[in-house]
Chain A
Amino acid sequence: MSIEATPKGSMGVAMKRKEDPRFLQGKGNYVDDLSFPGMLHMAIVRSPYPHAEIVNIDGSAALKVPGVKAVITGKDLEAAGLGWLPTFHGYDKQMVLAIGKVLFQYQEVAAVFAESRAAAADGAEAVEVEYKPLPVVADPFVAKQDEVLLRPDREAKTNHIYHWEVGDKDKTAQALGAAEKVIKQRIWFPRCHPAPLEPCGCVAQFDTMGRLTFHVTSQAPHVYRTAITIVTGIPEDKIRVISPDIGGGFGNKVPVYPGYVCAIVGALKLGRPVKWIESRTENLTSTGFARDYHMDVEIGARADGTVTALRVSTTADHGAFDAAADPTKYPAGMFGVVTGSYTFPVAHAEVDAYFTNKAPGGIAYRCSFRVTEASYAIERGMDILADELGMDPVELRRKNFVRKDQFPYASALGFTYDSGDYHRTLDVALEKIGYQALLKQQAEKRAKGELMGIGFSTFTEVVGAGPSKHFDILGIKMFDSAEIRIHPTGSGIVRAGTKSQGQGHETTWAQIVAEELGLDPQNIMVEEGDTDTAPYGLGTYASRSTPVAGAAIAMAARRIRERARKIAAHLMEVGEGDVEWKDYKFQVKGVPAKSVTMKEVAFAAYTNPGQNEPGLEATQYYDPPNMTFPHGAYVAVVDVDRETGEVKVRRFLAVDDCGTVINPLIVEGQIHGGLTEGFAIAFMQEIQYDKDGNNLNTNFTDYLVPTSLESPKWETANTVTPSPHHPIGAKGVGESPNVGSPAAFVNAVIDALSPFGVRHIDMPITRDKVWRAIRDSDPAKG
């Protein structure tokens, strides 16, 4: 064999991404880039009314439009048994195309199939639908009164969807009653939308043997395959789901949408491939929104700031269908992490969810199932408590942190936090931001009447769903999987049940394999997203890829190493027990000169395996023993213009602890992106409805996402507290910045406004809200 470089480690290396060259040259392969012979295009007719009876649908004019091949409606689908779609957690079902009535503006009413994109759009324009408007419920607190019943299709004749609670209600009430100090605040986390730059879309096609190939923007292709079987009855072996390159997901591409079902039905009915690509307006108005939690937060504390109890009661607005993609047992997701980084002896959290005439959803937008809402509630709450106690918010946090020696820590709401060092992470943040100097500067500015704010968020996340005893979607346990094959010349391929949407799996998965096997990550190919080739996995969302699939990959690589050890023993003519894995190669114990590399072993596995099984492959399904708990300490420094209400983010520091870092370049990139989305949520992004149920943010001129001009510069740092139960100690990071940062921004603005006695402003914090808060303030309370 040729002379080769000494094997070296790949963990923690800031390797440039392997996937980038194709994206940089316009050779990415996104769904809308696909084209097949005879392919038809689909367009969807949508309701202009938020709540209306459908009197009649007339597709005859549409069928006369040149190029239009077919029009289907809810009645057609209902007749075929495809009228309704189950939602992932099983608490509700969703109409594919409206049956009898529409329940939200832009709801899918009919699908039109045509020879071209333009002809399909013309056909959709020509479909005539007669509506009879019904009274609209656009407010969950009105929905609660059950005066207008939105979902007569359901057995329970109420707009109430579910009640969920966790914790000790009575003891919490007692502790709050006995507390020396109690704060209470309603905090609304408004409705927003992930809005990945690539909208959702698909191409459905059946081959001559009746097998469906379904290219789709899916964060969870295997779950889609199973869901398609459940909905359509097509046997699962006759379905191949392929998620090609995906232009961002952020939770938006987890649910199965009505358009996908229509495209499959069209392809079956017309015997030709059907492509459907939604427009930006369709994306913002009909696919999974996030948040919309109205949270009543109460914290009890002693006069010295020691917290004694937490109670949070939430009213959730789910829109027309409860189309959240939460695990079955967790209709409110991981909201139980609302005790945050603090040692609450008792706590109680409850969520009541309601239907309204708004778009369906409640998805996890860059968030592990409602963790963002929970984190925001506690981090805002702690600041309000600090303010009322006259304490420094940093000291209040430090006083109540779970200490390093308390891990594993059992929270009052049932989680076992795996590891953390909250004091240290905060200390790093204070030192790097120069907290004392900032306080001094703030005092000087205040003396001059200038408004400067410093805001903190010291959050804890719960990610990596999840252990099979608690977590499933559609009944499927939330494990993940990896399959590795090492080729004779020492390169290899790894396939996983996850699906990157920009997270860089093609690089980090290769690094894990390379680290475990002493191979070159440049020669480890990563493939995901094709259900015919990848092992079954639950997909990429909720920061679960590294905690679950990343673990499966490391374990599969270790299985390969164990098989390789036998071959290495054979090659070195020693007993297996005399072989050790050291410095990324096999060597005879105590005889460093006698060694073989994995590359040599790989060649032998195919050419000279001795008595051992030939080949070098392994598959691993990994059921995580616990969730992982990344944490961070974030600091925002803002300046507020008292005349215009304009907020400028002067500095933002994120100190994250996501356990072991696989690739620091990618981790930092994830943090930059997540912080920018947190900034957007704090200051810009909101899906608003007027009282008549009209969506007011239907495109990028109304739904404001940040540009390069307003996006702040980010400062980052990290501490490393490995997860004790994860094979490589990694915890996941993609969502931390989006979970942790909104509270830091809002806390900073409220701190800036403290001379006016302003206690709270709901996001997004726009200029007019700040200006009004100042105008309506009572400086005497400041």
Chain B
Amino acid sequence: MRVSIKVNGVAHERDVEPRTLLVYFLREHCGLTGTHVGCDTSSCGCCVVVLDGDTAVKSCTMFAAQADGREVSTVEGLAQGGALHPLQQAFWDNHGLQCGFCTPGMLMTSYALLKHKPNPSETEVREELAGNLCRCTGYNNIVKAVRQAAETLQAAPVQK
């Protein structure tokens, strides 16, 4: 079947098997391998992307066909004009990543969170990230990073 999905602002029109998951559409059809697969049960959140600008979804739990005609944002679209997004910068500044495998999902979940809640409390960040597993950092620095990014964004919003 034919699907057309706008990914990071670029239209991708492809023929896919109906069972193609959105994550494999992104990875194998669009060549955007920043979105990862870490489990088979929608538990780990490595595959989180943002749908229509503000909704975090697990792209392993959605068919590409369901995203037909919609807009998807992935980690590759976060940095603009060579400058890291404040979330990316905050993860870097706070050592919020080690192996890097969960990082794209963490960033995209946080991105959607800050769209809805520009100034989340620590508990709110922890609740929102509960669907994203990390095996390296123990989350302390990730939570710190998200709150630092919230501050930065409130002071100087990124137009996107």
Contacts and interface: CB of A to CB of B under 8 A. Distances in A.
Given A665-B95, A669-B98, A23 B40 contact: no
A247 B100 contact: yes
Contacts of B135: 195-197, 248, 250, 673, 677, 705
Contacts of A55: none
Interface string B13-51: 000010100001001100011111111110110100000
A577 B140 CA distance: 52
A26 interface: yes
A279 interface: yes
B139 A118 contact: no
A117 interface: yes
B141 interface: yes
B101 A281 contact: no
Contacts of A708: 125-127, 129-130, 132, 134, 139, 142-143
Given A16-B95, A672-B138, A26 B84 contact: no
Given A196-B135, A707-B130, A713-B140, A25 B34 contact: yes
Given A16-B92, A196-B135, A248-B99, A26 B127 contact: no
Interface stretch (B63-71, B75-83, B150-158): B75-83
A778 to B, nearest CB: 38
B133 A705 contact: yes
Nearest to A737: B138
B148 interface: no
Contact-residue size bin, chain A (C-beta under 8 Å from the other chain): 35 or more
Contact of A33 (B17, B33, B44, B91): B33
Interface stretch (A127-135, A463-471, A497-505): A497-505
Contact of A30 (B95, B101, B139): B101
A23 B137 contact: no
B40 A669 contact: no
A20 B137 CA distance: 14
Nearest to B100: A23
Nearest to A283: B39
B59 interface: no
Nearest to A713: B140
A26 B91 CA distance: 13
A729 B135 CA distance: 28
A498 to B, nearest CB: 15
Contacts of B95: 16-17, 665-666, 668-669
A27 B127 CA distance: 28
A199 interface: yes
B92 A21 contact: yes
Contacts of B141: 669, 672
A27 B84 CA distance: 13
B98 A673 contact: yes
Contacts of B104: 26
B1 to A, nearest CB: 14
Contacts of B28: 35
B92 A17 contact: yes
A673 B107 contact: no
The 3 A-B residue pairs with the shortest CB-CB distance in the complex, in nearest-first order: A26-B34, A23-B100, A247-B101
Interface of A: 16-17, 19-28, 30, 32-33, 35, 117-118, 195-199, 245-248, 250, 279-281, 501-504, 665-666, 668-670, 672-673, 675-677, 699-701, 705, 707-709, 711, 713-714
